[in-house]
Amino acid sequence: MTFERETALATAREPVPRSGLPRAQPRVWLGTTLLVRRLLPDRLAVRRAELRGHVLWEQSPTERERALAAMTAIVAGTARADEVESLARQYLIEDKVKETFFWQPWVAPALEAGSRARLEQAVASGRGVVFSFCHMGPYLLGVSTLAKLGYMVFSVSGPWVFETPCAGYWGRRVARRRAEARARRERLIVSVGSFELLRALLEEGELVSVYFSVPGGRSTRFLGKPVMLATGTSRLAVETGALVVPLRVRRERHRLWLDVGEALDPRDFAGADPLHESLAEIHERWMLELPASAEDPNRQGSWEQSATAEGWVRRAPEPVVG
């Protein structure tokens, strides 16, 4: 299929269409309706979620095994490999906290002075910028901070975001993701087959958000083991001259922070592979600082039970941007 650059760019710049939340059973409706969630302050909502995580660890063998498998896949082969059980307990807590932040009124994570300076310097360069996230913490809220600063971001998103919202919890999740994107002037780009469009956006100096921690075709030494990762971020940067800025959302109790790493300039690397390796080192360091806040690599749509202590081996269909 021929890539029609101007048509694709114009379509990508259109706002996310309005969509209401689909119907749901009363219990789901209460837990996913913004009007209701506004009544519960973040501090109390987070504390409630932490308690739910504690209870799951104590009372649900299924959830306990899932958490142990997730943490084993993440920290095996690293200096934190002997902490699997304590990290698994914390993982269930963080999992419930992330769910709570999704349904609470979305907040903009705060920026420390150094992070803000690095962010503003990258954007002021006039070049395209690739914001590189991993699936850690309430990562979707990171763009809220960028929007608060007046930046419009084109976010690469999985196909689920573009599904027609059905009745029930999942449909309301899809609709909520879109509603928040529209509210913060975020533009959503479907991940599959997006490389040409993203390259065009970056060539025009736009800001693009891409996830590093997604399956792909390149074996990378990551988290002490071979991991099959997509390399779209580094290839886009090398082909367009765009800066790559690593980002991470982390929490301290009920407060969120957006950490901004030093921008990686593709001109300082011999090619896409060395840039990819350098970016992997940054995300690995951040993930090992807070491994329990990472998403389960075996969740649906990710490595699908192929992430183990020996490696994460699932290959994603190409072309997918990572």
Peptide bond connecting 274 to the previous residue in cis, omega within 30 degrees of 0: no
pLDDT at residue 316 in the model:
58
pLDDT at 315 over 70: no
| Angle at the Cα of 155 from the Cα atoms of 302 and 153, rounded to 5 degrees | 155
Q: Contacts from 81-88 at CB under 8 Å and sequence distance 24+?
A: 81/224, 87/291, 87/292, 88/57, 88/64, 88/292
Please give the structure tokens belonging to residue 310: 């020996």
Name the pLDDT band for 319 (thresholds 50, 70, 90).
very low
Chain segment 263-307, per-residue pLDDT in tens = 999 999 999 999 999 999 999 999 999 999 999 999 988 998 999
Tokens of 142: 């990171």
At 34 the three-state DSSP class reads: helix
Coil vs helix vs strand at 279? helix
Note the pLDDT tens digit of each residue in 169-212.
999 999 999 999 999 999 999 999 999 999 999 999 999 999 99
The three-class DSSP label of residue 269 is: coil
Strand order, beta sheet including 187-190: 187-190, 153-157, 207-211, 129-133, 243-252, 255-260
Return the bridge partners of 258, or none.
249
Q: Name the amino acid, one letter, at 101.
A: F
| Cβ–Cβ under 8 Å, residues 281 and 45 | no
Is a pLDDT exceeding 80 seen at residue 320? no
pLDDT tens column, 135-165: 999 999 999 999 999 999 999 999 999 999 9
Buried b (16+ CB within 10 A) or exposed e, 120-147: eebbeeebbbbbbbbbbbbbbbbbbbbb
Q: Which residues contact 75 (CB under 8 A, 6 or more apart)?
A: 81, 83, 84, 87, 223, 224, 288, 291
Contact in structure between 310 and 225 (CB atoms under 8 Å)? yes
Q: 10 Å Cβ neighbour count for 274?
A: 14
Rounded CA-CA distance 73/66 in Å is 11
The amino acid at residue 102 is F
The number of beta carbons lying within 10 Å of the beta carbon of residue 160 is 13
**For 185, how many CA atoms within 13 A lie in the half-sphere containing its CB?**
10
Q: Which two tokens stand for residue 258?
A: 């957006």
- Within 8 A by CB and 6+ apart from 89, the residues are 54, 57, 67
